[in-house]
Structure 1
Amino acid sequence: MEKGHGDFGCSHYKRRCKIRAPCCDEIFDCRHCHNESKNSIEVDPLDRHEVPRHEIKKVICSLCETEQDVQQHCINCGVCMGKYFCSKCNFFDDDVSKNQYHCDECGICRVGGEENFFHCSKCGCCYSTTLKNSHNCVEKAMHHNCPVCFEFLFDTTKDITVLPCCHTIHLECVKEMERHFQYSCPVCSKSYCDMSRVWERLDREVASTAMPQVYLNKMVWILCNDCGENSEVNFHIVAHKCLKCNSYNTRRTRGVGASCSSEISEMIE
């Protein structure tokens, strides 16, 4: 039963079986391998599709090549095709260190240990128990694409984080944004971390930057992305500060070449 453990599988899962995709009748190491192959840029858009995991009916043992109905142990050689096996998702994985579990309400398997997560019916997804009494419910919170890489979040294999504004995003995508000095949510533009030191630096920069005489008495209307307040402030070429919350994460709405783009395209480290 342990023969071949860790020797078979793909970049997504270590497992001792392959699947026959019910949608195209082709054999792949896993559904992710199928989806990557069938949705690559080389494939005609009309031919692109994804395998429906719950419709998988046949698997092929990686050791003896026997094709059979979905089950944990090979009917021919008896090998365990996946130490973790879910008959609901037709899912196999030999790496049980992920602490996989099946959530009936999500309808899919997740990782991290069932004891460490709870399912929010309104959000329609599982969250860490550390958020149980503090998260703000957003209907279908993870039933959309990541706003950075556009991968569907609900069944992604990557780590997900919930920003203070309650929008969900891949953790790695947040880190990539930070590497490019972007500290606002790509969905709603609210700052997702403490920006007080940045605002203090901008205070100094605004105070030390003299304005041309022609702009000294010019006023503009701004919208604060952080608190949502509209304010009329003195025009400045560096940035505009919200009168309510002191944030510089603002954008002009009226006056002096008003622009709907954010005033701060690149936050100062």
Structure 2
Amino acid sequence: MDAPNDDARLGFGKMGYGCKHYKRRCKIRAPCCNEIFCCRHCHNESTKDRHEICRFDVQTVICVICDTEQPVAQVCSNCGVNMGDYFCVVCRFYDDDVDKGHYHCEDCGICRVGGRENFFHCQKCGSCYSFGLLNKHSCVENSMRHHCSICYEYLFDSLEETTVLKCGHTMHSDCLSEMLNHDKYCCPICSKSVIDMSKIWRKMDEEIEETAMPEDYRTRKVWILCNDCNDTTEVLYHIIGQKCSHCQSYNTRMISPPTVPQ
């Protein structure tokens, strides 16, 4: 039988090994606890004290084909297999599923997925965004370098899909869907509306028109702050809600008690 050629040796076992996070032909030795895991996410999910591994500190990996432990490299020094068809020496990252479109962003300092040609790095927000958001999103300083306001997972290197809200703040897409399913339409961070609320505002207009206030309250006014446009104005008080006279939003809050005009 002929010996396997170099290409066959490099590709041996591709997509046949790994964990729920990545398909790869190696495991890592965690520098923090000296234990072996399929990947850093497996380590972070399994440690009882919830300490997390720093990807850049990984120094040795174990080839799952021949069980050889060795310094970080793409090709196994013993059996010659590719331990990951995508390999980043900076992130100590391996993945056989190259269809994800991996690329290393120098500005982010980590590997991303989705294809470099499809993303740009926003310097102010501090992360890579889809080109569909280029010049079409509100920039917030380091908006991705914080925790999701719903599940509190750190967003910058999260495996879950994230969404940029109209206000520029970010959260997991699934968390946003769950929030909307519970009829919560304001950003948990800045309280601005996260979707087009014009239909709901028109419905509130109709409800207010059909709901007369008691005579003692019909002329009472209140100062409001609009969460959507940040305008402050004095309007007639109504139990259903107070409408911003500037942007027509009902996403407002009273900043004074209802009073009778002098």
The TM-score, its normalising length taken from structure 1, stands at 0.87
Partner AA of 2:136 in structure 1? S
Name the count of aligned residue pairs. Answer: 250
Q: Which residue of 2 aligns with 1:217?
A: 219
Q: Distance in 2 between matches of 1:159 and 1:182?
A: 20
Q: Which of residues 106, 118, 121 is equivalent to 1:119?
A: 121
**Deviation of the 1:6 alpha carbon:** 2.1
Q: Could you say what secondary structure the match of 1:161 adopts? A: strand
Q: Which residue of 1 aligns with 2:44?
A: 35
**Deviation of the 1:256 alpha carbon:** 4.7
Partner AA of 1:206 in structure 2? I
Q: Distance in 2 between matches of 1:12 and 1:116?
A: 22
Q: Distance in 1 between matches of 2:229 and 2:122?
A: 27
Q: Could you say what secondary structure the match of 1:254 adopts? A: coil
**Deviation of the 1:135 alpha carbon:** 3.4
Q: What per-residue deviation string (whole Å, max 9, x for no partner) do you get for residues 192-238 of structure 1?
A: 22111110001111111222334333322211111111222222221
Q: Distance in 2 between matches of 1:239 and 1:145?
A: 32
1:71 aligns with 2:73: yes
Q: Which residue of 2 aligns with 1:265?
A: none
Q: Which residue of 2 aligns with 1:170?
A: 172
Q: Which residue of 2 aligns with 1:244?
A: 246
Q: Which of residues 103, 106, 128 is equivalent to 2:105?
A: 103
1:231 aligns with 2:243: no
1:17 aligns with 2:26: yes
Q: Could you say what secondary structure the match of 2:185 adopts? A: coil
Q: Which of residues 35, 47, 50 is equivalent to 1:26?
A: 35
- Point out where structure 2 has 5 or more consecutive residues left out of the alignment: 1-9
**Deviation of the 1:117 alpha carbon:** 1.3
Say if 1:136 and 1:212 are closer, same or farther in 2 by CA, change over 3 A.
closer
Q: Which residue of 2 aligns with 1:261?
A: none
Q: Distance in 1 between matches of 2:230 and 2:25?
A: 54
**Deviation of the 1:65 alpha carbon:** 1.8
Q: Distance in 1 between matches of 2:23 and 2:217?
A: 64
Partner AA of 2:89 in structure 1? S
- Point out where structure 1 has 5 or more consecutive residues left out of the alignment: 258-269
Q: Which residue of 1 aligns with 2:15?
A: 6
Larger Rg: 2
Partner AA of 2:21 in structure 1? H
Q: Which residue of 1 aligns with 2:6?
A: none
> How big is the alpha-carbon RMSD for the aligned residues of Structure 1 and Structure 2?
1.7
